[in-house]
A and B are shown apart, each in its own frame.
Chain A
Amino acid sequence: MTDKKSHKANVLEDVELSASELVTHNPWRILQNFTDARIGLGRAGISLPTNELLAFQLAHAQARDAVHLPLDVQTLADDIRSLSLPVVPQSPIILHSLAENRVTYLQRPDLGRRLNEVSQQQIIKLQQSGEVSCKEYDLAIVVVDGLSSCAIQDNAAALINALANELRDDSNRLGQDWRLAPITIVQQGRVAVGDEVASLLNANAVLVLVGERPGLSSPDSLGMYLTWAPKLGLTDVSRNCISNVRPAGMSFMEASHKAMYLLRESRDKKISGVALKDRTNTHDTDQVTSSANFLLAKP
């Protein structure tokens, strides 16, 4: 009996690995200096180590939450009102698309591109009562939740502030005002809903701030879309896009600088979309002609 017992104990000891031996680390993890890709994660057997598995799950959970968390419209409206923008009224107008809820929104992009009737009437009533001017505006800024509410919740007010500064500086420089329409917020909206809002407001151009499809490492990415002469039925061909606006991506300052360039060009040439090229300096891609890299280093 005793022998058998001790034999069993020995077998158990043989397979008992210390926790540090359970994961094979990859020495090339240091190459993460070159890329945000999840390289050199190491392995347990041939599988992901537990910490990496959970880190991935967290990133996915944050991206999912970004899609499904409803926008806190009141807080956002308060944030925007407190910017004291040169608009009347200072409180943003809160609107809703034809997509009643998130599940419908995700499956019916067509409904997210249109205002519901209540929202259409709301704008018309504000114009009839004189609370909103019926005169032409140069620009409407339309804030749309899109696919990431946190992109809008966290970034929209600060970005609008930076934009307002650019617009003010530009007006001072050229002695020509940018007449800004009241800010609008659209829930369950897609980019194209901005065209309908802007055309109801009689704006010559629209800048839509929308929550982008969240990436695993970028749940809070905001996109800006410019359209000249916005009206129903336009497609992406008529729009200019500035993407990946977020604290860890393109800064609010750089994004509003680019937007200002496009707005000026758009107003001068009365165009937007593929015909309007962004010629601000960018470092979007590594344009070095050599393919030299560490894998090809000579001995």
Chain B
Amino acid sequence: MPATYQHILGSKVYHFKSLAELMAKATPARSGDRLAGVAAATDEERVVAQMTLAEVPLKTFLNDVLVPYELDEVTRLIIDEHDSVAFQAISHLTVGDFRNWLLSDNVGTAELRNVSQGITPEMAAAVSKIMRNQDLILVAKKCQVTSAFRNTIGLSGRLSTRLQPNHPTDDINGIAASILDGLLYGSGDAVMGINPATDNVQQAIKLMHLMDEVIQKYQIPTQSCVLTHVTNTIEAIEAGAPVDLVFQSIGGTQATNTSFGVDLSLLAEAQQAALSLDRGTVGQNVMYFETGQGSALSANAHFGIDQQSCEARAYAVARKFNPLLVNTVVGFIGPEYLFDGKEIIRAGLEDHFCGKLLGLPMGCDVCYTNHAEADQNDMDNLLTLLGVAGCSFIMGVPGADDIMLNYQTTSFHDALYARSVLGLKPAPEFEVWLHKMNIFTDEKRPSLTSSIPDSFAHSLAPFSGSGV
């Protein structure tokens, strides 16, 4: 029987009909929740909802589920795989106590790791709603999650990048040009990942071969991925293509995942197919997931739940499959979900925090579209904050301009900025390679060579007559 939640403020009694309504109204303001009609009507109601939510025991989230158990396999996954032993250390706490516990001096990396499997996405979402940005940063920084394939992602003091060499017609030399640019700026340790221009399996296989051959020829300790539908990747594996990572967009309700054409068993099948290739050298995390607030509403599959809680539930799906990378594509969806720089920054910090708390190798596509109220300065702010928070990886595109997806994300230069001001390094295996190739010239800071390293000079030789 779902409880009702209420709070008395002065002479006014606030009623919240369900946990979903309470969570939604406690969420810091954003356009997607207004569009869904679930946001608090006033600022006062929002804070009262936060006060009410702070009083809710964490145990409640195991009984009062946001989406019915019978209707939703994501709910079943969350409840059936909950680790009650790990939960013990925090089972007596309310949401408000949980915030204090997370911030406590006595709780460090080990304690957070020990309780991780006892925390449900809804608990993480709930506590994030009553945390300020600095709380989200401080706790995320205490979490440490590492994953590995041909290098190790997420170690302390490291910031990795996905090299994203997209091209609007998948032109092979156009893609290769962006790959070269990225490598020579020290980008590509999280993954070399292409969003293909079409959903064609043959095309995907060609791009897989392209990246695999580049990785082999230059002996780069990294992995590749073509971001096509999971069924295409399975087909590519069956056709003998060199697949390192399996990509898929996922959401926090079964209905959202249905709209993406996936379910848990299909993801399991894809993971097994990739594992069977045994291509990892230092680890076997073979999955790459992308998420983003608003996807459930956009698929009309949100069940009256706020978009941030839906997003956190997607992380339950992700952690089932031990991914190498989980990427929240925070500003891509547009201003009807996250209106401006302030909302995008908040959402990026929430997603990173919730992901890390739940034990995921969390990265962020720090990005915006041209119809959002955001600009490069907002991205600088979010990038810096995420760098401080220990974000595992960010994107890297030439000059911050993705000419295929028509949006702006972080550039190769941006990553070097973050590494420089925050003293962060690439993944250790990739860092060794950058020095060996004479791309980075200084052990202590990201200092680039001013000439073209020998091994790449050969590839550029044919163009020397035209000015190279």
Q: For this complex, into which size category does the number of interface residues on chain B fall?
A: 35 or more
Is B406 an interface residue when CB atoms closer than 8 A count as contact?
yes
Contacts of B210 on A, CB cut-off 8 Å?
291, 293, 296
Q: A214 vs B403: C-alpha distance in the bound complex, in angstroms?
A: 11
Chain A, residues 191-224, CB within 8 Å of chain B (1/0): the string is 0000000000000000000000111111100000
Contacts of A60 on B, CB cut-off 8 Å?
370, 375-376, 408
Say whether, besides A46-B446, A106-B335, A286-B172, A213 and B217 are in contact (CB < 8 Å). Answer: no
Contacts of A64 on B, CB cut-off 8 Å?
370
Is B184 an interface residue when CB atoms closer than 8 A count as contact?
yes
Is B468 an interface residue when CB atoms closer than 8 A count as contact?
yes
Which of B179, B406, B407 gathers most chain A CB within 10 Å? B406
Whether A107 pairs with B31 at a CB distance below 8 angstroms is yes
Q: A154 vs B321: C-alpha distance in the bound complex, in angstroms?
A: 50
How far is the CB of A292 from the nearest CB of chain B, in Å? 7
Q: A163 vs B174: C-alpha distance in the bound complex, in angstroms?
A: 33
Whether A288 pairs with B172 at a CB distance below 8 angstroms is yes
Contacts of B184 on A, CB cut-off 8 Å?
26, 28
Q: A108 vs B335: C-alpha distance in the bound complex, in angstroms?
A: 9
Chain A residues in the interface with B (C-beta under 8 A): 24, 26-28, 30-32, 34-41, 43, 46-48, 52, 56-57, 59-60, 63-64, 66-67, 106-110, 147, 213-219, 283-297, 299
User: Whose C-beta in chain A lies nearest to the C-beta of B447?
Assistant: A46
Whether A285 pairs with B198 at a CB distance below 8 angstroms is yes
Pairs of residues from A and B, 5 with the lowest C-beta to C-beta distance, nearest first:
A38-B399, A215-B406, A35-B174, A291-B210, A31-B177
Whether A37 pairs with B397 at a CB distance below 8 angstroms is yes
Say whether, besides A60-B370, A294-B176, A39 and B399 are in contact (CB < 8 Å). Answer: yes
Is B104 an interface residue when CB atoms closer than 8 A count as contact?
no
Contacts of B56 on A, CB cut-off 8 Å?
none
How far is the CB of B169 from the nearest CB of chain A, in Å? 5
Whether B403 pairs with A215 at a CB distance below 8 angstroms is yes
Whether A28 pairs with B460 at a CB distance below 8 angstroms is yes
Contacts of A107 on B, CB cut-off 8 Å?
31, 34-35, 335-336, 339
Q: A197 vs B207: C-alpha distance in the bound complex, in angstroms?
A: 43
How far is the CB of A207 from the nearest CB of chain B, in Å? 23
Whether A37 pairs with B408 at a CB distance below 8 angstroms is no
Whether A46 pairs with B413 at a CB distance below 8 angstroms is yes
Whether A37 pairs with B34 at a CB distance below 8 angstroms is no
Whether B403 pairs with A217 at a CB distance below 8 angstroms is yes
User: Whose C-beta in chain B lies nearest to the C-beta of A35?
Assistant: B174
Contacts of A215 on B, CB cut-off 8 Å?
370, 403, 406-407
Q: A170 vs B446: C-alpha distance in the bound complex, in angstroms?
A: 63
Chain B, residues 199-240, CB within 8 Å of chain A (1/0): the string is 010110011011001100100000000000000000000000
Residue from A39, A56, A286 in contact with B376 in the complex, judged by beta carbons closer than 8 Å: A56
Q: A38 vs B182: C-alpha distance in the bound complex, in angstroms?
A: 11
A-B contact pairs, 25 of them (CB 8 A): A28-B452, A30-B467, A31-B180, A34-B177, A35-B173, A39-B399, A41-B413, A46-B416, A47-B416, A57-B376, A60-B375, A107-B336, A108-B35, A213-B334, A215-B370, A216-B401, A216-B406, A218-B406, A286-B171, A290-B206, A293-B172, A293-B210, A294-B462, A295-B214, A295-B459
Contacts of B459 on A, CB cut-off 8 Å?
294-297
Say whether, besides A37-B397, A39-B399, A67-B371, A28 and B31 are in contact (CB < 8 Å). Answer: no
User: Whose C-beta in chain B lies nearest to the C-beta of A67?
Assistant: B371
Whether B339 pairs with A217 at a CB distance below 8 angstroms is no
Whether B336 pairs with A294 at a CB distance below 8 angstroms is no
Say whether, besides A46-B417, A60-B408, A34 and B171 are in contact (CB < 8 Å). Answer: yes
Say whether, besides A30-B466, A60-B376, A296-B217, A37 and B401 are in contact (CB < 8 Å). Answer: yes
Contacts of A284 on B, CB cut-off 8 Å?
169, 197-198
How far is the CB of B39 from the nearest CB of chain A, in Å? 12
Is B450 an interface residue when CB atoms closer than 8 A count as contact?
yes
Contacts of B171 on A, CB cut-off 8 Å?
34-35, 286
Q: A296 vs B175: C-alpha distance in the bound complex, in angstroms?
A: 12
User: Whose C-beta in chain B lies nearest to the C-beta of A214?
Assistant: B370
Whether B177 pairs with A37 at a CB distance below 8 angstroms is yes
Say whether, besides A39-B181, A46-B413, A293-B210, A286 and B170 are in contact (CB < 8 Å). Answer: yes
Whether A287 pairs with B401 at a CB distance below 8 angstroms is no
How far is the CB of B241 from the nearest CB of chain A, in Å? 11
How far is the CB of A272 from the nearest CB of chain B, in Å? 20
Q: Would you list which residues of chain B between 80 and 112 have a CB under 8 Å from chain A?
A: none
Q: A37-B167, A48-B411, A291-B207 are in contact. List 17 more A-B contacts (CB 8 A).
A: A35-B171, A37-B397, A38-B398, A48-B413, A56-B399, A67-B371, A106-B339, A107-B35, A107-B339, A216-B403, A284-B169, A285-B170, A288-B206, A291-B206, A294-B176, A296-B217, A297-B458
Whether A285 pairs with B213 at a CB distance below 8 angstroms is no
Contacts of A109 on B, CB cut-off 8 Å?
35, 336
Contacts of A214 on B, CB cut-off 8 Å?
370-371, 406
How far is the CB of A32 from the nearest CB of chain B, in Å? 8
Q: A26 vs B183: C-alpha distance in the bound complex, in angstroms?
A: 13
Is B448 an interface residue when CB atoms closer than 8 A count as contact?
yes
How far is the CB of B218 from the nearest CB of chain A, in Å? 8
Is B156 an interface residue when CB atoms closer than 8 A count as contact?
no
Chain B, residues 448-466, CB within 8 Å of chain A (1/0): the string is 1010100000111011001
Which of A31, A32, A60, A290 gathers most chain B CB within 10 Å? A31
